Amino acid sequence: MKPPALAERVGEHLPDVWQSRGEVTVVVPRGELIDALVRLRDQPDLAFGFLCSLTATDHPGKDPRFWIVYELRSVEHAHRLRVKVGLAADDPHVPSVTRLFPTANWHERETWDLFGIVFDDHPDLDRILLPDDWEGHPLRKDEELGGVGTRYHGAFIPPVDERTMP
């Protein structure tokens, strides 16, 4: 389905939908996420059964602060949809979609690792990219880039112009 028809079709059940730059995006409240994804998967003309990507963006100072972004694709019809869920800063919890899409397992672990979003009912929510004893969630906007001044296990790397020969 082309984006205009797709937006109309999706908008029948999920009203907060818009098109931009050839893509269709729909915003779903957190409590209705699982039902919406099941409906999007099971209806034969939509058939969104393939989860391509799951990530988050951080907008500190705005409400909602975190947006969880699901990129869905249909293998039968070759169309795409973006589903977004907004989370407040003090409540970064969202239900895990691992039961529906087993591929979400590592994606959700990565989002937890880098952003600190807790996925409820995830089978194994551990850090995946950073060491297990890392503190903080680096991709949040209030965390600094690091490199210069990173402290880990007691080691401290000074800026380049302050390093001297031992």
Partner 1 sequence: MPVERVEGHLTGKRPEEIEEEVRRGVLLTSLDKAVSWARKQSMWPATFGLACCAIEMMSAGAGRYDLSRWGMELFRASPRQADLMIVAGRVSQKMAPVLRRVYDQMVEPKWVISMGVCASAGGMFTNYAIVQGVDTIVPVDIYVPGCPPKPEMLMFGILKLQEKVRTQGTFR
Partner 2 sequence: MSTGQEMDAARDGAPTVQTPVRDRVTGEVRQETMIINMGPQHPSTHGVLRLLLELDGETVIRCKPIVGYLHTGIEKNTEYRTWVQGVAYVTRADYLAPFFNELAYCLSVERLLGIEAPPRAQTIRVLLCELNRIASHLVWMATGGMELGAVSVMLYGFRERELILDIFEAVTGLRMNHSFIRPGGVIMDLPTEGPRMIAKLLDDLPARIDDYERLLDDNPIWKERNVGVGVLSAEDALAYGVTGPLLRAAGVPVDLRRDEPYLGYETYEFDVPVSTDADSYARYRLRVTEMRESLKIVEQALDRLLAEPGPVMVEDPKVAWPARLSVGPDGIGNDETYLRHIMEESMESLIHHFKMVTQGVRVPEGEVYTAVESPRGELGYYVVSNNEHRPYRVKIRDPSFVNLQAVPTMVEGGLIADAIAVIASLDPVMGGVDR
Q: Which residues sit at the interface with partner 2, rule CB under 8 A?
A: 20-23, 25, 49-53, 55, 57-58, 69, 71, 75, 78, 80, 82, 101-103, 105-107, 110, 114, 127-131, 138-139, 145-146
Closest CA to 25 of 86, 77, 69, 87: 69
Residues 135-154 that bind partner 1 (CB under 8 A): 138, 143-148, 150, 152
The residue among 107, 83, 82 whose CA lies nearest residue 30 is: 83
Smallest separation, CB 131 to partner 1 (Å) = 5
Lookup: tokens for 113: 């690792």
Torsion over CA: 142, 145, 147, 148 (sign): negative
Q: Which phi and psi (to 5°) does residue 47 adopt?
A: 55, 45
Binding flag, residue 134, partner 1 (CB under 8 A):
yes
> Half-sphere exposure (CA, 13 Å, Cβ side) for 157?
7
From 15, 44, 160, 164, residue interacting with partner 1 (rule: CB under 8 A)? 160
- Smallest distance from partner 1 to CB 65, Å: 21
- Interface with partner 1 by CB under 8 A: which residues? 130-131, 134, 138, 143-148, 150, 152, 155, 157, 160
